[in-house]
Amino acid sequence: MRKIPTLFLRDPADRKRLLRDVHPDCGWVLAGEGVPTRKYDGTCVLLDEDGTWWARREVRPGRTRPPGYRPVMTDEATGKTVGWEPIGQSAYARYFAEAVRPATPGTYELIGPKVNGNPEGTDGHVLVAHAQAERLDAPRDFDGLRAWLLAHPAYEGIVWHHPDGRRAKLKHRDVA
């Protein structure tokens, strides 16, 4: 799991604001490459090849990493390290325990009533496989994407998946 870059660059003076400039690692999206899928609003979990479940965790600079933490990368802009912690010690452990767990290794989004205020509106806690996320018919230009996301307020955003494994994202809050 690597942090997914936002499709458009952020304004250095106001990190909440996007510029119209495409992120240098994401030009392939505007070139028509990759498949756009729904970005679900929950928390990411991983079932590894050994059958062990992990929860995504960001650790801020200067903070102690939790026991068993597996760092993946450090964001140069924020200094935060993204990685995995054992699911049992995650703040979402009891909600994860309520979700039906598939047996296929991969990443999933844990959504439900006690996760991020339940923006997905589910009755119970559920795991949504990222590999099976809803495919979207979304535009690929700044104005078109802004209009599309504003017309779909129930979606957290869009994640594009390139065949070679690269990904890019654009969140609803980035354009609102």
Domain boundaries in the chain? 1-39+133-176, 41-132
Q: Which of 72, 45, 46, 74 is nearest to 60 (CA)?
A: 74
Q: Which of 171, 142, 173 is nearest to 38 (CA)?
A: 171
Instruction: In whole angstroms, give the CA distance from residue 135 to residue 119.
Output: 19
Across the chain, mean pLDDT equals 94
Q: What's the average model confidence in pLDDT over 9-35?
A: 94
Q: Is the pLDDT of residue 24 over 70?
A: yes
28 falls in which pLDDT band (50, 70, 90)? Answer: very high
Q: Which two tokens stand for residue 59?
A: 């650790």
User: What's the pLDDT tens digit per position in 73-131?
Assistant: 998 888 999 999 999 999 999 999 999 777 799 999 999 999 999 999 999 999 999 98
pTM for this one? 0.87
CB contact at 8 A, 40 and 157: no
Buried b (16+ CB within 10 A) or exposed e, 21-36: ebbeebebbbeebbeb
Instruction: In whole angstroms, give the CA distance from residue 65 to residue 149.
Output: 35
Instruction: In whole angstroms, give the CA distance from residue 4 to residue 19.
Output: 17
